[in-house]
Structure 1
C-alpha cells in the first residue's frame, strides 16, 4: 500500500498544475460533490532544527538581557516552546487548496492573513507600513555577518560553507559567538539572527542561510518581516 502511494507522489509544480487543471474543470473547490485528491499526489516531509540549545541560552540570561532582547526584537523567544504537531500537518494536507492558497473544510475556506501572522509572531511593535523588500545590490554574506556580529572577515571566511545553491554558517559557530562575545548587544543580535535562521527559514538544517542575513540586517530600520515570512510559508 505504501509503495503504491509513493509511486503517485509528484513535485510541487506537478501538484500545482493538477490543482489548476481541476479548478478549471470543476470551476470551484466548493462545487457540490467536489473531493480533494491532493493527498494522493503529495507527501509531507517535516524537518525541524533542534532548538534546545537556544532555549538553554535564553534560560541562562538574566532579566536585563531579556529586556534588551524584547525591546529590539519583540517576543520571538516564545516560539522556541511551540510544539509542531506532525500528525496535524499530515491531516491538513488533504484540506489544502494550492490554487486558492487556503484550507477548505466543507463549505468553509480558511485563508491565512498578514494580520494573523502578525499576531502569531508578536510583531505589533514593528511598523506594518514598511514591508521588507530584498535590495537589488545586496552586500555579500560575509560582510553582512561582520556588520551583525562585529567579528572579523578572517573569522567568517573560515566558517562559511556552501550548502546547495546558497552559502550558510553553522549554528554551532553562532552559538560560540553568543556564549563568548563580550558585547551583550551583539549577543542579543546573534541570538535573534539564529531564531530567524533556525525557526523561520530553516533551509539547511543546523545552518543559517545567507538570505536570512539580508532580512535581519534590515530589521533595525523597523521594517516588518511578516510579509516575507508569510510568503515563504505559502511557497512551501
Structure 2
C-alpha cells in the first residue's frame, strides 16, 4: 500500500512538472498580447430554491429506499444539507477570470476538474468515458416526462408550463407524485430528477426545466453528467462576470465543497487518506464552518 501511495505521489509530481514545463515553452491559449486582469466588482445573485420539502421526503425514506438511490445516483442527497455561504460565494465570483475560465487567487489559478466533480458525486453507475451529448432527435418534453415518471400524457399535459423561453414542470407537481407513487423505483427517479432540476441546474426557481429531463434520460444509459455540470458552471460564472450582475445558474453547493477541498488543514498531518467508501459530500455536511465572515473579509483572505 505504501508503494502504491508513493507511485501516485510521483505521478502527481511528474504531471505538475510537465504542466509547468509546457506552460513555459508554449505559453497560454489566450490571444497574443492579451493581459489577464480580473474584471470590476460583480453583483451576483446566489438565490437558491427551498429544499425543505426535498429534505423532508428524504428523511421519511427507509434505509432500503436510500440504498437504492445511492446505488443508482450516488451522493446527490447530501447536497440538500450543504449550506451556501453567500458571503464566500459572492467573494469567490470576484476572482473568476473569464479569459482563462478559472479562479485566479493572487498567483494561483484553480478550476474544478472532471475528476474532482466525479469524485464528489460518487455515482457508481457513471462511466467516465460516456459524456452526455444532447441528441438531435429529441422526444417531446411530454413524452420524456411520461417515460420518467410513469404517468399518463394527460397527467403531464395538465402540469407542464411555459416559463420564460423554456418549458418546465412545477416542483410541487413532482413532490406530490413522489409522496403518492406506489413504485419505489419511480419515486427514486423522480426525486433524482427534482434534485438535478432544483439544486444542480436551478434555471427556473421552483421548476424543473425541460433540458434536465434530456440529461436525466441519458443517466440511465450510464452517461456522466459531470461535463455538462462544469460547462454550465463556467458559462454562468463567465456570463455574470461580463455582465457585472445576474443570478448564478449552477450548483453553488458543489462549487463551495470543491473550494473547501483545496483549503483544508489538519494539524500535524501531511496528507489525507481516503477509503473506498469515503464521501466528500457527506464529510462536507458534517464539517462545521463559520458563516459570520463578511464578503469584504473573504475578498481580503482570498
**Same fold, judged at TM 0.5 (above):** yes
Where do 5+ consecutive residues of structure 1 fail to align? 1-22
Aligned 8 A contact 1:200 1:229 in 2: yes
Q: 1:157 matched to which residue of 2?
A: 157
**Superposition map of 1:30-179 within 5 A:** 36-39=38-41, 42-123=42-123, 125-179=125-179
Q: Distance in 2 between matches of 1:28 and 1:167?
A: 41
Q: Per the alignment, do residues 44 and 25 of structure 1 end up closer, same or farther by CA in structure 2, a change over 3 Å counting?
A: farther
TM-score norm. by structure 1 comes to: 0.84
Aligned 8 A contact 1:118 1:124 in 2: no
Aligned 8 A contact 1:38 1:93 in 2: no
Q: Secondary structure at the match of 2:162?
A: strand
Q: Secondary structure at the match of 1:144?
A: helix
Alignment RMSD (CA, Å): 1.5
- Say whether 1:232 aligns with 2:232: yes
Q: Secondary structure at the match of 2:94?
A: helix
TM-score norm. by structure 2 comes to: 0.66
Aligned 8 A contact 2:72 2:125 in 1: no
Deviations 1:135-156 (A, max 9, x none): 0011000100000011000011
Q: Distance in 2 between matches of 1:124 and 1:109?
A: 30
Aligned 8 A contact 2:70 2:123 in 1: no
* Residue 24 of structure 1: how far off its partner (Å): 6.3
Aligned 8 A contact 1:149 1:186 in 2: yes
Q: Distance in 2 between matches of 1:226 and 1:136?
A: 20
* Residue 220 of structure 1: how far off its partner (Å): 0.9
Q: Distance in 2 between matches of 1:26 and 1:106?
A: 21
Of residues 87-96 and 165-174 in structure 1, the stretch that sits farther from structure 2 once superposed is 87-96
Q: 2:216 matched to which residue of 1?
A: 216
Q: Secondary structure at the match of 2:45?
A: coil
Where do 5+ consecutive residues of structure 2 fail to align? 1-29, 237-302
Aligned 8 A contact 2:127 2:224 in 1: yes
Q: Distance in 1 between matches of 2:66 and 2:123?
A: 17
* Residue 130 of structure 1: how far off its partner (Å): 0.2
| Aligned residues between the structures | 207
Q: 1:17 matched to which residue of 2?
A: none
* Residue 178 of structure 1: how far off its partner (Å): 0.3
